[in-house]
Structure 1
Amino acid sequence: MRANANVLADLYNRRPFSPLKGLMTSEAVALPRAALVGNPSDGYYGKTIAFTFRDFSARVTVDEVTGLPLPETPLLGAALEVFNSYCARMGSEVASDLAMLFESDIPYKLGLGGSSAIVIACLRALAGHSGYDLSPEVMADLALAAERDVLGIPAGLQDRVVQSIEGLVYMDFDRTLIEGRGFGEYVVLDPSELPLIYVAYMPDAAEGSEVTHSELRGRFEAGDPKVMSAIAEWKDLTDQVRELLDSGKGAAIGPCLDRNFAIRRELGLAGAGTIAMAEAARALGASANSAGSGGAIVGTYDGPEMFSQLVEALRQLGASVIAPSI
């Protein structure tokens, strides 16, 4: 579901796009994200709410060093390729003779947006080096192109949008919007309206998001009635959560998260480790949803005592629990 390049080109022209003073060395950071509700409908013209959190990060440094080879790391190389295509489309010089380094402590392949964070950080660093200001819509589109079109990794826009904007974001990927103007409706919500939120992740349950999206893509394109019904319900759950947050009733979103995860299980889109974590959390009275397409969950809890219980119960499964800094 690549955003329409012609419409985005028009967006570039409508938003400020004047060269700034480029930097010899440019460093940028991007944050992990947790999908609160609606995931994984983003790749299928659905709706989601997700948030970034500051407990981990990916950092990329771009340094202009003549004579060094282009990066061999696939994610950095893909980001450089789409950025250079973008520069060429805009009639500016492409980036060359660069040393590119990255570091990340985002838990690997656990559905927390670790790979997209590296790509977003790289694009930000390249933009800083070249002296350009990329809009969130363009940033997200380029990041999706790097992973999906260059590397062949099935993915949707959700991670790239929320990581480009940061914070708590409602995203509507309505087909008419995507195919008409090239991007969806993205609304920043007030994170103070959220109830107490936890994120848990299990390294032994690591699984790349491409596993989930590869299977779901085929079923979606075949018009599988169960998949189409699931997408419709995920969209409705997303709107319910937004309405609750907007009306100051954030404490009531838990059942929507539980139902979101139940639909994933019905479609066979939840791994054994993720299911075990969710069941353990729900047994304590917390809500639980998959935080992405890997071994991580997100949910609501009632207070310090329940959080301590979550930490202990999930530790026994080999999982770590945090109260994310959103």
Structure 2
Amino acid sequence: MLCSDQNFDIAQVIRFFRSKSGELAIYYELEEGEKCCSRGIVEVCPESHRITRFLEKPQEGVTASRLASVVFYCLRKDTLSHLSDFLLQQPNVEDKTFGRFWEWLINEIKFPGLSDYTKWLAHYSAKQQESPARPITCRSYARVGLMGNPSDGFNGKTIAMTISNFWAEVTLVESQTLVLLPHPLNDPTEFGSLQDLFRISRKEGYLGGLRLLQATCKKFYQFCSKQGIALTKQNFTLKYDTNIPRQVGLAGSSAIVSATLKCLMKFYNITEDDLPKPVRANFILNVETDELFITAGLQDRVVQVYEGLVYMDFSKQLMEERGYGEYIPLDMSSLPVFWLAYLGDPSDSGRIHSNVRQRWLNGESDVVEAMKRFAELTDQARAAFQSKDWPRLAQLMDENFELRRSVYTEDCLGPGNLRMVQLARQFGSAVKLPGSGGAVVGLCMDSQQLMEMKRAFQEAGCVFCIIVPYCPADSAVQRSK
């Protein structure tokens, strides 16, 4: 009989059983207040690590052991032949349980222990140290909302696209203790002077990405515990990097959370079955809203999980019935050229939401009808994408912005956003906000006008770039080559 505590590595256990034959039971120490009579209790020899006695849900006072056996056993094939003998000896149906069989097997049949388990465990631990695990690196990409935003937070519909121009990257490597490494620029703790502190804090704010890593890890552990997913007792070091411009509404925060979650899932072998894509999007949103109180809508997380060009329906009925919306990837072949521009010194994008949510919750008709109209525009844009009717899509993008301006007002949108919209329209380009503010996304059908517009934006102190869509299918093909 072999037992192991909560520090067991299941991979080591499997390797061990390939080289030796025997029985295995996993045990753990009961939490304070947990009663022995609710579990199978084992008594363990501290020297040999053998189970010397097994008690099926004993009454208080029968044993001093607080070591409970979980329902995880490995049995030799020939051990099962004793099952019929056990059943014949049990006249009462209530005694014909696996726990009672285990108790009888250990206490009466007394199988020999596997005394060299510790030696083999040490052997494979040494092997692991000789060949350290490779780092796990995952990316999540910035996104642009092409239609329907900001109705994703109001049971609306949106279309968004991940772009390969900007991304967040997280690296995880196994380590002795759990370490979260601060980013040298985004999480500074040392400054050249008080003036440097003032300038950096004014531009970058007080909250970097380290809180996002910590909140994701906390929420991940909480999720796995709630779902009954056992995590191996391995520690790791996490670090992140990002080139997504801050405070311009390109989903930089959720990209860091998304990339961190990808790393944790790979490290602990959490599969799509354990954490499906729709649930994963909700998870990322909850990290930001519940843990960090960040103002956020769901579309960023959905498109960063699904990747590519995604149509999203967040109708109230869907969200209430199953907890997530309808998320449909769209064809990305032959897309038109989209462009992106953002302010060099933006304000906090979260402020752009103003009091619209409260007005919507109060049932204010103008806001309620506007959110329904956003959804209608999104359905029309989906049809335009499917038929590749780019002039119609450009028209819908302009309508999206005007509807947003009517609901949020120009004072709320701010002079910087309005100046960028006005500048784009001087060159005949469709334009709208891709997120909550600080940037604009557009569709210009005239290549000559596009180049002239680029120069105008740069002269106005804005950053301008041609969008490179991120298509997960193309990325998979590249990795296979």
Of 429, 447, 450, which aligns to 1:286? Answer: 429
Q: Is contact 1:202–1:318 with CA below 8 Å preserved after alignment?
A: yes
Of 384, 400, 404, which aligns to 1:244? Answer: 384
Q: Is contact 2:248–2:435 with CA below 8 Å preserved after alignment?
A: yes
Question: What is the RMSD of the two structures over their aligned residues, measured on CA atoms?
Answer: 1.8
Cα offset for 1:219? 1.7
| 2:148 corresponds to 1:38 | yes
Of 138, 157, 172, which aligns to 2:279? Answer: 138
Q: Is contact 2:360–2:368 with CA below 8 Å preserved after alignment?
A: yes
Normalised to the residue count of structure 1, the TM-score between the two structures is: 0.88
Question: Which residues of 2 match residues 1-326 of structure 1 at below 5 A?
Answer: 25-69=135-179, 73-94=210-231, 97-133=235-271, 134-208=275-349, 210-213=350-353, 215-266=355-406, 267-268=408-409, 269-326=412-469
CA distance in 1, matches of 2:181, 2:317: 38
Structure 2, unmatched stretches of 5+, are: 1-132, 183-209, 470-481
Q: Is contact 1:207–1:293 with CA below 8 Å preserved after alignment?
A: no
1:203 alignment partner AA: G
* DSSP-derived class of the 1:199 partner: strand
Q: Do the aligned partners of residues 164 and 145 (structure 1) sit closer, same or farther apart at CA in structure 2, a change above 3 Å counting?
A: same
Q: Is contact 2:337–2:467 with CA below 8 Å preserved after alignment?
A: no
1:61 alignment partner AA: T
CA distance in 2, matches of 1:165, 1:174: 19
Cα offset for 1:244? 1.3
CA distance in 1, matches of 2:354, 2:298: 15
Equivalenced residue count is: 303
Normalised to the residue count of structure 2, the TM-score between the two structures is: 0.60
Q: Is contact 1:193–1:245 with CA below 8 Å preserved after alignment?
A: no
What does the per-residue CA deviation read over 1:55-93, in whole Å, with 9 as the maximum and x for residues that have no partner? 111001122222344567111111111111121122223
CA distance in 2, matches of 1:119, 1:261: 29
Cα offset for 1:193? 4.9
* DSSP-derived class of the 1:39 partner: coil
Q: Is contact 1:33–1:52 with CA below 8 Å preserved after alignment?
A: yes
If you compute each CA radius of gyration, which structure gives the higher value, 1 or 2?
Answer: 2
Q: Do the aligned partners of residues 40 and 224 (structure 1) sit closer, same or farther apart at CA in structure 2, a change above 3 Å counting?
A: same
Cα offset for 1:192? 2.6
The percentage of aligned residue pairs carrying the same residue is: 37
1:303 alignment partner AA: D
1:128 alignment partner AA: K
Q: Is contact 1:141–1:157 with CA below 8 Å preserved after alignment?
A: yes
CA distance in 2, matches of 1:186, 1:162: 9
Q: Is contact 2:170–2:256 with CA below 8 Å preserved after alignment?
A: yes
